[in-house]
Amino acid sequence: MNKIYKGRKIVRGIVKAQAIVCPDSFSFLGDVDLATGEIITPSNPNKGQRLKGKILVFKESKGSSGGCVVLKTLVQKKAAPAALVTVKAPDYNLTEGTILLKIPFVADFHSKILKELKTGQYLTVDADKGIIKNTQKG
């Protein structure tokens, strides 16, 4: 069943990819290895997963204003996520980074998506419409 979740468009674009779902807040400065794009935080259930080409779904961004610099580095190393989805409203620094780097970004979803969506599940992010939905592989 293709369930559709409605949020708010932040940065336009359409992406189909596997999800990495982090139930808590996430920081690009501290939770990710800059060289590999691997999640390194021991408390994160996705520790060891690589962000490259994935849709990163998380509660909210946390931490430093340096997150957009880390995101830029990940793009340069071809290790960046394909799209971002946050439950809460986006912070300005992360928004700025996704605009400059043209990474599709949607936000302002009901927190139930963190329980309903699963890591490894294929999603379509249609940031032009502000929606995400379950999809078939590829």
**Residue length, the chain?**
138
Q: Name residue, tokens 């990495």.
A: 20
Higher pLDDT, 82 or 94: 82
What would the two tokens of residue 61 be? 């961004």
Class of residue 56 by CB neighbours under 10 A (exposed 0-12, middle 13-18, buried 19+): buried
Class of residue 67 by CB neighbours under 10 A (exposed 0-12, middle 13-18, buried 19+): buried
* CA 119 to the chain's CA centroid: 12
What pTM did the predictor assign? 0.94
pLDDT the model gives residue 98: 94
Encode pLDDT of 13-68 as tens digits. 999 999 999 999 999 988 999 999 999 999 999 999 999 999 999 999 986 678 88
The full set of domain ranges for the chain reads 4-134
- Which CATH entry fits the domain spanning 4-134: 3.50.30.10, 3.40.50.300, 3.40.50.1010, 1.10.357.10? 3.50.30.10
